[in-house]
Amino acid sequence: MKLSEKKLFLFDIDGTLAVGDELLPESRELLDEIEARGGQSYFITNNSTRSQEDYVTRFREVFGLAARPEQFATSSYVSALALREQFGNASVFVVGTGSLIAELRRFGVNAVTEWRDDLAALLVGYDSSLTYEKLCAASELLQTTALPWFATNPDLRCPAPFGFIPDCGAICHMLTDTTGRHPHYFGKPARRMVDLCIEQSGFTPEQTLVVGDRLYTDIACGINAGVDTCLLLTGEATLDELRTTIYRPTYCFETVAALRRACKF
């Protein structure tokens, strides 16, 4: 299906539509035009520290964009829906921030931070309040029970003013090195976010386009879900990487503006 016929656009945010607090040129116009032609945009992000409401506020106050909470498929949101579906009211032991725990509970997951007899799973998220005590508790669970282990997102590091700090994937690596066990990740490149957006929007996989700046998360996620993908060279990926990658996007553009032009024809 041609770009001009696509209806469901699933955008990565950082490095794709915006860099830090700056919206990239023509992002706003592209989002408006998608809506004007009866399409829909969703924002798929591995960041598990912000809730859907946090993102609505950020889009309004920082970018001047109006968005609805359900347009944000964050890794904490998809984790919540998946855990709720799989384990119902049973308790899930969570290593994560207070905001992750609140988001899980809001969507009906019985998130706990202490041992319970009805524990059904362990979830690890990006945790800026991580302590050695939490790591010990998770290590004990992983070695003394057969509970399934999930994690919000596989990213190893996230940007900081001086370089990088450990993200969820790096915390999980520590637990894997310790226990020999491996988590199942909910965030990109797993296909779950794409499936969820297709289900919620009512559009078809053929009408869907995943747009991102990273090959091994954004583009891989679209490929895993069996939908068309578009790489923008506005963030992490370079032309050199594109030549050698196993994650080959359907489309590639240098800028948001170039994608916008291509969507018109």
Choosing from 6, 8, 9, 12, the residue that interacts with Mg ion (CB under 5 A) is 12
**Least Å distance between CB 37 and Mg ion?**
25
Q: Determine, following the binding rule CB under 5 A, whether residue 169 of this chain makes contact with Mg ion.
A: no
**Least Å distance between CB 183 and Mg ion?**
22
Taking the least distance from each CB to Mg ion, the nearer of 155 and 228 is: 155
Q: Determine, following the binding rule CB under 5 A, whether residue 127 of this chain makes contact with Mg ion.
A: no
Q: Which residue has the tokens 């991102």?
A: 212
Q: What's 236's DSSP letter?
A: S
**Least Å distance between CB 181 and Mg ion?**
29
Taking the least distance from each CB to Mg ion, the nearer of 15 and 249 is: 15
CA dihedral 11, 170, 175, 133 (to 10 degrees): -100
- Of 46-54, 66-74, 229-237, 238-246: span binding Mg ion (CB under 5 A): 229-237
Residue 38 phi/psi, 5° resolution? Answer: 85, 15
The answer to whether 103 touches 47, Cβ cutoff 8 Å, is no
Q: How many CA atoms lie within 13 A of 249 on its CB side?
A: 25
> Hey, what are 14's tokens?
């950082």
CA dihedral 110, 114, 117, 123 (to 10 degrees): 50
Q: Pattern of binders to Mg ion over 15-54, x per CB under 5 A?
A: x---------------------------------------
Interacting residues with Mg ion (CB under 5 A): 12, 14-15, 213, 235
